[in-house]
Structure 1
Amino acid sequence: MMATLQQECPKLTELDAPLKPVNGELYTVYYDKDSSWYRVTIAGTVSTEMVSVYFCDYGDLALFATKDLRPVPAKAPLARSLPPQAIKARLYDVWPLHQDWTVEDCIRFQELCVEQQFVGICKDVGKDPLNPSEPLLTLDLIDTSTDEDIYLNKQLESEGRARLGPAS
């Protein structure tokens, strides 16, 4: 699929960009940092010229100019039919101390997770509240690289970054 996108998307021009991208719709975009085309869905509209996109096969979010979007090429049927390969997930039984996670909490979570291997136990498969047509996994993530297993939700709570228990 990715090889086909790299061949077919450069044939599209700015004239092919959607005039009014639709939230949740599938498009492609060229990502300068690695010189590749990717499938994206519209996560939100920032302005008439900017949109927030979700890299549906990787799970990343980014901002792009509307003029940078392209339709999924007709000559890329797999790219049109393949479901998103990234699945959204949340940690089991853990909640931010306040209304939302702080920037520092998010950075700490990344420090604990990036380039690490975990055992994941799926506790629930629900619907993403922002996009009910997509699944949302609830996972217990366990770092088993040391003599004592480290549950990420309990680690965040012990650091005073989160609380355990049901949503309030």
Structure 2
Amino acid sequence: MEHEAHTHHEQDETHHHDMAPSTATWATAVQATLHCLTGCAIGEVLGMVVGTALGWGNLPTTVLAIVLAFLFGYSLTLRGVLKAGVGLRTAVRVALAADTLSIAVMELVDNGVIVLWPGAMDAGLGDLLFWATLAISLAVAFVITTPVNKWTIGRGKGHAVVHQYHH
């Protein structure tokens, strides 16, 4: 009996990994990117606020924001995958596979906009420039990351991996 259950589980795992690439619609890509944006925005804003409030320099503040963006991005995916009954080890692999490229592109674009925007790196928490640049940078990152997510989902990668575990 135990062997039969184990074999059934292996077939389920094989089914998950052998699925044909997903149909990548723009709606699916937008949904995946909004998911990514949520985690990135939480981490990015928190990191920028903490670093700026503590008077840190640009580099440590940016590094903190990026680390927190990845942490919150992965955490949101982990929460959903774990809710589906997947074990922690598999859930971590799914989150890494689903989110790494999306978060990396989003963070590269987001931080690139902030670095290139005149005066943004020197703006304080009380400055409209600080908040406006942060909002604009996240919007630009969303627009650029959406086609990346569409492409990865179409190849059965990225957020398509997460959807394989939602029943």
- TM-score bracket, normalised by the shorter chain, equals under 0.3
Normalising by the residue count of structure 2, what TM-score does the alignment of the two structures yield?
Answer: 0.25
Higher relative contact order (CA 8 A, sep 6+): 2
* Structure whose residues are more often strand by fraction: 1
Normalising by the residue count of structure 1, what TM-score does the alignment of the two structures yield?
Answer: 0.25
